[in-house]
Amino acid sequence: MGKAIPYGIYDVGRNAGWVSVGRDHDTATFAVESIRRWRQAVGHRAYPDADRILICADGGGSNGYRLRLWKWELSLWAQGTGLAITVCHLPPGTNKWNKIEHRLFSYITMNIRGGPLESQEVLVQLISATSTRTGVSVEARTDDGTYPTGAKVTDEDMTVLNIEPHTFHGEWNYTISPPQGRSPTSG
């Protein structure tokens, strides 16, 4: 049967969810790829003139505020798209305040409860069938990519990232802009 790893994006403005269901590992690379896929499939059409994106993330897991790989992958994405990416992490221990938990995943959980999860395709269909009285709609897609664990980002690697910490808790709130000069891909 394998495993299924859901990574969700909740667009507050559109009241819509996107869930990427991976098969490999829940890494920072998978998390950023899920956001990238949302942007390609939905976000670009919904916000064609956007030059920045705001990501509200919990404080741990594959998109944790301490993860260098998360910031590295976001920087690669910023470089490829030209987007400025602002990330605001919820403080440690408060991830249940995240709107994605209350407005998306709680309903997904209720929708799939009791359903036999015979395959990843069934799970993707059940997630996609999730809706609420308040109009939340959900789109889900399978991600067959491979995301190896153990990737390292060195101190030197971090120096090339164009990260601007915000005044208030810069460790949790920062903007990653497309790099200037030496970039993550130029070594």
Going residue by residue through the chain, which has 187 residues, state the pLDDT in tens, using 9 for 90 and above: 578 899 999 998 898 999 999 999 999 999 999 999 999 999 999 999 999 999 999 877 899 999 999 999 999 999 999 999 999 998 877 766 777 776 777 777 787 776 677 888 888 888 888 888 888 889 999 999 999 999 999 999 999 999 999 999 999 999 999 876 545 554 4
Note down the domain range covering 72. 5-186
Strand order across the 84-89 sheet: 52-57, 84-89, 173-176, 163-165
Helix (H, G, I), strand (E, B) or coil at 169: coil
What is the pTM for the complete model shown?
A: 0.88
Count up the domains in the chain and report the number: 1
Residues 6+ apart with CB under 8 A from 143: 20, 21, 22, 23, 30, 33, 34, 37
For position 187, what pLDDT does the model report? Answer: 42
For position 185, what pLDDT does the model report? Answer: 58
Hunting for tokens 């950023």 — which residue is that?
32
